[in-house]
Amino acid sequence: MLTRRKTLGLLAATPVSLTLVPTIALAREPEVFQNPVAINAIDPVGYFEQQKPVPGSTSHTRNWNGAEWHFANQSNADKFASDPETYAPVFGGYCAFAASRGYLAPTIPEAWTIYEGKLYLNANLRAQELWREDIPGNIAAGTKNWPGILG
């Protein structure tokens, strides 16, 4: 039978013993926002070609950078496959405003910007508005934070 003093001693020693145990590495976030398909199954080429979010199709897919990407048609899938860096969103399709602030956030298709030929997505329309207040500054901050914020 444990006395009160021994019980308190065991409880007090527990935090010390936990610091002696090696820490467990946390899993790194994927480089591309997936829900479960890259950028919510929206065709990234559509932002450039139709100037709007265009749903992709399971009939036209490509795998790139650890994610499955969907496209509206074969032509868009081929364009992406020939030069994915041109069409893939910056910061892996995570919220560009959040990246500029040092954290990851999912995105919605309707909150997007093409700036200097690059696609940037945002978590919501308010984040898009804040992003657009200082695009060059937000890009610089996000680039500095990336990829360290992946974990």
List pLDDT tens digits, range 59-105: 999 999 999 999 999 999 999 999 999 999 999 999 999 999 999 99
* Model pLDDT, residue 41: 97
Max CA-CA distance within the chain?
76
Whether residue 128 is predicted with pLDDT greater than 80 in this model: the reply is: yes
User: Which helix (H) or strand (E) element contains residue 18?
Assistant: helix 4-20
pTM of the model: 0.82
pLDDT band at 26 (very low <50, low <70, confident <90, very high): low
By residue count, the chain amounts to: 151
Q: Is 39 exposed, middle or buried (0-12, 13-18, 19+ CB in 10 A)?
A: buried
Query: Is the per-residue pLDDT at 140 higher than 70?
Result: yes
Q: Which DSSP letter does residue 30 get?
A: P
